[in-house]
A and B are shown apart, each in its own frame.
Chain A
Amino acid sequence: MVPLSWYLIFAAALFSIGLFGVLSRRNAVAILLGIELMLNSVNINLAAFWRYGDVLQMTGQVFAIIVFAVAAAEVAVGLALVISVYRRRNTVVADEINMMKW
């Protein structure tokens, strides 16, 4: 049987990889890819705590499903914004999207 710590450390490593992608990529689409990795690692934690806690309580899985819905909404809006910015400014580099910078 796999102990709980393995899942938690695996999820922490995946979260750190996603965080690195968010912080260091220049392309806005690649930043959204990093956010997806982070959301997935959170979902692994939720499912692991459901399995290793009280299996009869479905809270962990319900929370994971809500995270799925929020991730889908986030990706739809984020990619629409990237495409809209690309049409107007002809760039997807996050450093160059500075219209709202004061």
Chain B
Amino acid sequence: MTGEQIIFILTALFTLGSGFMVVTSRNLIHAALWLVSALFGVAVTYALLSAAFLAVVQVVVYIGAIAILFIFAVMLTRKDMRDQGPQMNSNWWFGALLSVLVFVGLFFLLQGWNGLSRTASEIPAGFDAISELGDALISPDAYVLPFEVASVLLVAALIGAVYVAAFNRK
């Protein structure tokens, strides 16, 4: 077992444990903080996959913006179900059964696929993934249209979020 495999296993266990705490902890502030640690584990996974840009964006956008937004939302809606009452609905066993079935199904689906034991090829010398990614995002031959559509989507979502959350039309 190589060092990379050991780092991967530790990261995966850390992320899965944090994810389990996200869905089971009773206090929502704790759940949001566990989400931060799960997202950090995913960022380490990106770094292991040598996707440096994705790792940095994960830390900046997910942990820096989205997780903080969750913490604000928890604080703004905290009054009515702080720690009392059940946090799971009455069909939680059905959800647990369904998610276990999904995992088992995906596992056996992957077992039957012959590309599964593939190993990564070496990254060619002098290949700069970040500048290639930047070229791909703005090149008309590649992905400039999805990129622009994503920015329009973000503007629409932010205007919509401000409109929905701000006005009190009673």
Binding site for B on A (CB under 8 A): 1-10, 12-27, 29-30, 32-34, 36-37, 40, 43-44, 47-48, 50-52, 55-56, 58-59, 61-62, 64-66, 68-77, 79-84, 86-88, 90-95
Q: Which of A37, A47, A72 contacts B38 (CB 8 A)?
A: A37
Distance (Å) between the CB of A74 and the closest chain B CB?
Answer: 8
**Contacting pair A62 B107 (CB below 8 A):** no
**Could you list 18 A-B pairs, sorted by A, with CB under 8 Å?**
A3-B117, A4-B118, A7-B49, A16-B99, A16-B106, A23-B91, A23-B95, A24-B92, A25-B23, A27-B81, A30-B87, A34-B22, A59-B143, A62-B133, A68-B61, A69-B151, A79-B161, A80-B164
**Contacting pair A17 B23 (CB below 8 A):** yes
> Which residues on the B side are within 8 Å of A82 (C-beta)?
73, 77
Distance (Å) between the CB of A90 and the closest chain B CB?
Answer: 6
**Contacting pair A68 B57 (CB below 8 A):** yes
Q: Which of A33, A74, A84 contacts B22 (CB 8 A)?
A: A33
Distance (Å) between the CB of A63 and the closest chain B CB?
Answer: 9
How many residue pairs, one in A and one in B, have C-beta atoms under 8 Å apart?
258
**Contacting pair B94 A62 (CB below 8 A):** no
> Which residues on the B side are within 8 Å of A25 (C-beta)?
23, 87-89
**Contacting pair B102 A19 (CB below 8 A):** yes
> Which residues on the B side are within 8 Å of A69 (C-beta)?
150-151, 153-154
Residue of A nearest to B25 (CB): A30
Given contacts A55-B121, A61-B54, A72-B65, 5 further A-B contacts (CB under 8 A): A6-B8, A24-B23, A30-B87, A72-B61, A91-B80
**Contacting pair A79 B70 (CB below 8 A):** yes
- Judged by a CB distance under 8 angstroms, whether B119 is at the interface is yes
The complex places the Cα of A2 from the Cα of B16 at a distance, in Å, of 18
The complex places the Cα of A22 from the Cα of B26 at a distance, in Å, of 15
**Contacting pair A7 B45 (CB below 8 A):** yes
